[in-house]
Each structure stands twice: as C-alpha cells, then as structure tokens.
Structure 1
Amino acid sequence: MTAAPAPATAVTAPGTPSGYAVTVPAAWDRVPLDDGARERAVRRIVARGFAGRDDRPLLRAAVERELLSAAAEAASRGGLELHLAARPVAGVVVPASLLVHVLPPEAVGAPGAAGLAAALTTGADPAAVTVVELPAGPAVRRRRTLPAVAGEDGARPGSVVVDHFVPLPGAAAGPPTVLVLTGSTPRVPWEEGVVVLLDAVARTLRWT
C-alpha cells in the first residue's frame, strides 16, 4: 500500500497516550470538517476522480452525494479526521471514506476489548463482530452492510462499513476511551478489495 502518514492527532484521556497516528493511502485526501471547506474539498476530489469521464453524469452525482454524506456525518460525530477517495477501479470511480473519532467511556459501557465486543454483538450478527489483535493493541472489528437510502437529492446505494474499535491503553479500571476507525464503501463487485485496504490501514495505527 503506497501510503503517507497522517500527522499525529491528540486524544484527551487521563493516563493514556496523548495522541495517535494512522497511515492512509497516498491517493486519499484529508478533508476539513467545517461546512464550506468540506463541501469544496469533496467537489475537488470528485472532479479529479472523474477527469476525462464526462460521460457518466449520474455516477458522478451519486459519488458526490456519497462523499458529501460521509463528510456531513463525520462532522456531526465530532470526527478527529476524515479521509476520502474517489478513484477509478476497473474503469469505474469508486468512493471510499475513513473517519477517525472517539467514543468516551460513558458511551462504551464495558471494560476491555472482549466486553466491548459483547456489547456490540447485542442485536447484531455475532460473526460480524470479532476481537482482533492490532499492533496498537487488542481491538474489536465490526463489519456491517447498510441498505440503500432514498433522499430528496437522489438515492444513496447500499454500503459496506468496517469499524475498528481500539481502546486506549493505560486507562484506569472500567470502560476505556475508544478510538474508532470507520471505513465505508458502496456495495460493488470489488468491495472486498476496499475492505482489505481498510483493515490494512487499521494495522498502521500507533499511539504517540
């Protein structure tokens, strides 16, 4: 994976590392989360992805909706950072996103990765939630498939979402602060390749 490290970002949690760093593909863009700037950034990304492909206006509009929605959701969650991509795969431009955000202890409600996995399994397919070992420490991986959603500005296709929940090490007993890496891509025949990439990005996480 040709990649570039994102700058270390601060995470506030007493007794834990002061921040983290994660490496994303060099072709992905970090997008600011304030309103006007994120919309301009998304449109630049889409324009670059569709350069020389003016014969696909409906697909271009769908990709732009997907990335604008991802950016708006990232802002609403109080995201720490958001990376977006709209790159050709097998001749078709495929959007993808990676959001990094934090769950405070009161939103976690269970100590350790195993307890967090048990909480996330409630109401979900148990096979979709697993405890994994990352270089940054024990984590919980959750894979979800979301249905298509109709909206006033057009339908959004179904998507595959992969979350990595990584408890900050060194916290006191009880529920930890959890760093969450949420990656998403539309349901497409080559979605598994994007999922593999998102798993690889999670393995680059390190504490600072």
Structure 2
Amino acid sequence: MTATAPPATYSLVLPPGWVRIPLRDGTREALDEKVFRGIEEIPAGVPRDQGMAYRLHVRRKVDRMVEEARRAGGLDLYVPARVRSRTLMASSFLVSEIARDGDEPGDGYDDASVPGSGPQAELVLARLAADRRSGEAGELRLAGEAMAVRWEYLTVPDGSDPEVDVGCRHVDYVLPVPGDGGRWLAVSHSTAGDGDPGSAFTRALTDLFDAVMSTFQWS
C-alpha cells in the first residue's frame, strides 16, 4: 500500500473583513497591508480628536496579540480588519502546530500506532475529548471533512493582566495531521464579544467561528 504524504498546509474560507497574519514569515508586511492600513478611517463613535489615540490603541493591541501568538507557537493569527465596530476587534483565532510529546495529544501511544487518520486516530481523539478545559469536556466534531475535538468554555479575568477586565468565550479545535501521527493542529478562538460572554452577540461570534471551521480543508 502506498503511504499518503502528509498535507503541507490547510485552507479556510474567511468571513468578509477577516485577514490572515502569518507568524513565521512576512508578519510585519501582512500587518501593515491588511490591518494597520485599514484603521486610517476612524470608526463611528470615536471622537475625531481621539483618532490618533485610537490608532495607537489598535496597533498596540494587535502587536501584543501577535507576540503572544508567537510565544504560543502559532502558525497563523486571524483577526477582523477594516471594520467599523471596535467591539468586533475583541475576536480572533490562532492556528498552531502541536508536536506529540509529553502531555500533548496522543500521549501514551507509539508513533507507529497513531496515524493521522483512521480508526486509531479517532480513538485518540475520543480519549482527548474527555479532557476538560475550564471544567468543560470536549466533543467529537467534524471540521470540514476532518474529524476533530471541540471544546467551548468561558474564562474570567483573574487580575493578573490589567488589560483583561472582561470574561471571554473560547472555542478550541484539535485535529490530527493526516499521515503523520506526530503532528496535530490546534485552532483556538476567543472573543470578549460585547463584554458579556453569555450574550447573544458573543455567542453569534462563536457561531461564526464554527462556520469558518466547517470550511477547513487540508492541502
């Protein structure tokens, strides 16, 4: 039987206004072209004399998100750009690669016995779904045509970060890379929404992320 080569990358269909920021190469160019150029027009509700302060706030916020995403081993960061509402800027998601090591997904299985797809991979996913995040267990869910584990949970500010003063709703997906049992992909979404993690608006943003994940494809 001929082995299937692992995919080199993935693809997603993004909603209008959302952009991909690569974190390994070309990050600054992507930020300047796709994000910072889009904040030259001040959104409605921001006083014109506060325009410069608003631009600096957005730059610092996005730069901080990029730095945190890089520390987390991220591959790509997705953010809304060229939008009128500052509230929507509180939503983003990160794609990162997880090497199967220690407590990572699939721990306890030999590489040879854990292919990136097939019944054995689904067993590992089922085992992983039992893990809890902020008290919430995962569930098996399709991301496009790929089987994944999905978690949805809330976090509240603990006072350790003065810039985080509202709760967030999170949705995480973990997928095995087909044909490579040592690599997994994590896609993590977080949003503060309108400041209320349980509001209809905030839930609508998580629904939008789930819709994006329904377009996931390996390439």
- The question of a shared fold, defined as TM-score above 0.5 by the shorter chain, is answered with yes
| 1:140 counterpart letter in structure 2 | V
SS at match of 1:108: coil
Alignment of 1:204 with 2:215, yes or no, is yes
What are the superposed Cα offsets for residues 141-179 of structure 1, whole Å, 9 maximum, x if unpaired?
1112111243565334211111111111223xxx54211
1:17 maps to what in 2?
7
1:205 shift after superposition:
1.2
1:48/1:150 CA distance change after superposition, 3 Å? farther
Q: Structure 1 vs Structure 2: percent identity of aligned residues?
A: 23
SS at match of 2:178: coil
1:75 maps to what in 2?
70
1:10 maps to what in 2?
none
1:131 shift after superposition:
0.2
Larger strand percent = 1
Of 127-136 and 157-166, more deviation after overlay is shown by 127-136
Distance 2:37 2:187 in 1: 21
Show structure 2 runs of 5+ residues with no match: 108-113, 115-120
What are the superposed Cα offsets for residues 68-125 of structure 1, whole Å, 9 maximum, x if unpaired?
4432221112211111126456xx6322112111111222235524423433533447
Distance 1:153 1:125 in 2: 21
SS at match of 2:39: helix
2:17 maps to what in 1?
27
SS at match of 2:74: coil
What are the superposed Cα offsets for residues 21-50 of structure 1, whole Å, 9 maximum, x if unpaired?
12212301223548x939x65972783685
SS at match of 1:161: strand
Count of residues in correspondence between the two structures: 189
Distance 2:40 2:190 in 1: 20
1:32/1:149 CA distance change after superposition, 3 Å? farther
Match of 1:135 among 144, 158, 161: 144
Distance 1:153 1:49 in 2: 28
User: In the alignment, is the contact (CA less than 8 A) between 2:20 and 2:77 conserved in 1?
Assistant: yes
1:67 shift after superposition:
4.3
SS at match of 1:72: helix
1:204/1:21 CA distance change after superposition, 3 Å? same
Please tell me whether Structure 1 or Structure 2 has the larger radius of gyration of its CA atoms: 2
Show structure 1 runs of 5+ residues with no match: 1-13
Distance 2:87 2:148 in 1: 31
| 1:191 counterpart letter in structure 2 | T
Give the TM-score, by structure 1 length. 0.70
1:65/1:150 CA distance change after superposition, 3 Å? farther
SS at match of 2:171: strand
Give the TM-score, by structure 2 length. 0.67
Match of 1:108 among 89, 105, 113: 105
1:203 shift after superposition:
1.2
SS at match of 2:157: coil
User: In the alignment, is the contact (CA less than 8 A) between 2:150 and 2:171 conserved in 1?
Assistant: yes
1:186/1:179 CA distance change after superposition, 3 Å? same
Alignment of 1:84 with 2:93, yes or no, is no
User: In the alignment, is the contact (CA less than 8 A) between 2:6 and 2:177 conserved in 1?
Assistant: yes
1:136/1:179 CA distance change after superposition, 3 Å? farther
Distance 2:47 2:126 in 1: 45
Alignment of 1:52 with 2:44, yes or no, is yes
SS at match of 2:69: helix
